[in-house]
Amino acid sequence: MFDEKLLQEVTAKAKTWLSESYDEKTRAEVQAMLDNEDKTELVESFYKILEFGTGGLRGIMGAGCNRMNIYTVGSATQGLANYLKEAFKDLPQISVVVGHDVRNNSRLFAETVANIFSANGIKVYLFEGPRPTPEVSYAIRRLGCQSGVNITASHNPKIYNGYKAYWDDGAQVVAPHDVNIINHVNAIEDVRDIKFNGNPDLIQIIGEDVDAPYIEDIYTLSLSPEVNKKYHDMKIVYTPIHGVGRYMVPRSIERWGFDNIIHVPEQDVMSGDFPTVESPNPETPSAMALAIKKAEEVDADVVLASDPDADRIGLVIKNTKGKYELVNGNQIQIIFLYYLMVRNRELGRLTGNEYIVKTIVTSETIAKIARKEGIKMFDCFTGFKWIATVMREMEGKGRYLGGGEESYGFLPETFARDKDSVSSIPLMCEIAAWAKDKGMTLNDLFIDLYINYGYSKERGISVVRPGKSGADEIAQMMVNFRENPQKEIDGSPVVIIKDFQKLEQRDMRTGEVTKLDMPVTSNVLQYFTEDGTKVSIRPSGTEPKIKFYIEVHDTLDKKENYDAKNEWADQKIDRICQSLGIA
């Protein structure tokens, strides 16, 4: 199955993990892999070093250089500590925030991180227990820290864990710091270079002293407090899907004036085993099944969820047939940004200096709304660090209304710099109340929006290819799409191709090539057709998959045609999937 050269390489790497520098449990796990006739686990654990990328680390937990464990986490932290001491050498005391989610080993990894930072003379603010990812971002800004780390694998299955690194603005690191950190991490070649023995005097435990102001700052985002009070008993089903949102999200919802929060008891259990779901991802119907069942029992007005680290939001509403239906990530962004733009206009707060942000793979309907409302819109790469980059560049130049991406993440505030369900969920409750006050449901609001600004429907498809062979296959798929581009999609000619790896836009009608104005390159390819269809293709930066984002457009003349239009769009997207070979 594996060639002899590869087996020799991974065996040599694995044997270095049998030294006394590694703990007994790790050595035993590695020895078991070496002794096993089936070398699959050995190869997958050692064929490469788990890369500290521009977003940090993410991988399967276990022994080995390609796994999440205290040694790969330790190497990342020692490298980050070394760079912090270089970048902030003139500061008398460098400080960082360390947080974690509910995943198995998350507390162990967080304490490991705290110990290494403190052993390097860096002050650590360590959360007392699991906290939302956006609260770590918030704490960095509030406490005036230079960096931060959150141990989380977001919505990935339970075998994963991860490591997110943040800079002093509370955003995940970008250039030049990302590359500089990576270089320092790669320079850690021996586990003996990692300072594991912490200095307790430099570790300060934090909790409610950050929780309380965080909740109060989130409340300042409310634009319709009187409507919230009027519909305070609106039926809101909420599930944290076993994650850190269990306490902070209901607390935030209640602060906004809503007091009828209906829990899903089975999923209120905070557990890294995620016992009721196969994958704790609020964008998948199976993860939302128990919440939908509860909603049907109580006839809920809205169903909301957060993922395990409480940065993403899930939304379920009643459709025109009265059935509860999952809302996709694009629609979530559309409704958030629509409300923020329109409600600010209603309140007379627009000065012409406002702006919103979306990612290049997020719905173009947002751009249509922004143009009609006279709001400046920025497009950026996928990932909230790029939204945060726009926010940083626009400080003092414009007022941020909100920003989000199709992968179910939204940020309505500036005091944190990562997607935030703790603020987004009460905001969505407010939008539901605001619609109710206008005699509409959230579904009615969507239909009204599509009639006024143009109809669109989106679908994301992920093709999963794990392991080394999968990574090779994904790379080849991107080569094929570049070298043999689509000439037409569902019968409509491709008129524009954007290649963000080359930062080039090609007009297929004229042959004209223009440069794309982006801060860095990214492995993303986009097709735009004559009939308004948009197809984006990109490998995931954190998971073993290649993602396809399909978006179709049309007009909608009246409410009665909404279901027929959805059926038309679904059929069109099905045909597009077939033509791309991903059906």
Q: Whole-angstrom Cα distance, residue 362 to residue 345?
A: 23
Q: Are 550 and 573 in contact (CB under 8 A)?
A: yes
CB neighbours of residue 392 within 10 Å: 14
The Cα–Cα gap between 247 and 128 comes to 14
* CA-to-CA separations, 297 to 276, 294, 314, 505, in angstroms, rounded: 19, 5, 19, 51
- Rounded to the nearest 5 percent, the helix, strand and coil shares of the chain are 40, 20, 35
In the annotation, is 154 catalytic?
Answer: yes
Query: What is the Cα–Cα distance from 277 to 236, expressed in whole angstroms?
Result: 21
Question: 158 vs 64, 101, 277, 467, CA distance in Å?
Answer: 18, 12, 10, 17
| Contact criterion met (CB below 8 Å) for 413 and 420 | yes
List beta partners, residue 316.
303, 326
The amino acid occupying position 289 is A
Work out the number of other CB atoms within 10 angstroms of the CB of residue 567.
Answer: 10
List all residues 6 or more positions away from 502 whose beta carbon is below 8 Å from its beta carbon. 521
Residue partners of 381: CB distance under 8 A and separation at least 6: 359, 360, 500, 518, 520, 522, 524
| Residue burial 177-200, b: 16+ Cβ < 10 Å; e: rest | bbebbbebbeebeebeebbeebbe
Is residue 456 within 8 Å of residue 490, measured between CB atoms?
A: no
Q: Which of 45, 75, 137, 154 is catalytic?
A: 154
Six-digit token string for 22? 């590694």
User: 312: which 2 tokens?
Assistant: 């993403």
Task: Count CB-CB contacts under 10 A for residue 322.
Answer: 8
Q: How far apart are CA 375 and CA 353, in angstroms?
A: 8
Contacts 24+ apart (CB under 8 A), 483-489: 485/527, 486/527, 486/535, 486/579, 486/580, 488/529, 489/527, 489/529, 489/533, 489/535, 489/576, 489/579
Spatial CA neighbour of 169 closest among 392, 460, 438: 392
Interatomic CA distance for residues 132 and 420, integer angstroms: 8
- Cβ neighbours of 250 (radius 10 Å): 19
The DSSP H or E segment spanning 325 is strand 324-326
DSSP H or E run through 155: none
With b meaning 16 or more CB within 10 Å and e meaning fewer, what string describes 408-431? Answer: bbbbbbbbbbbbbbbbbbbbbbbb
Rounded CA-CA distance 544/473 in Å is 10
Catalytic residue numbers?
154
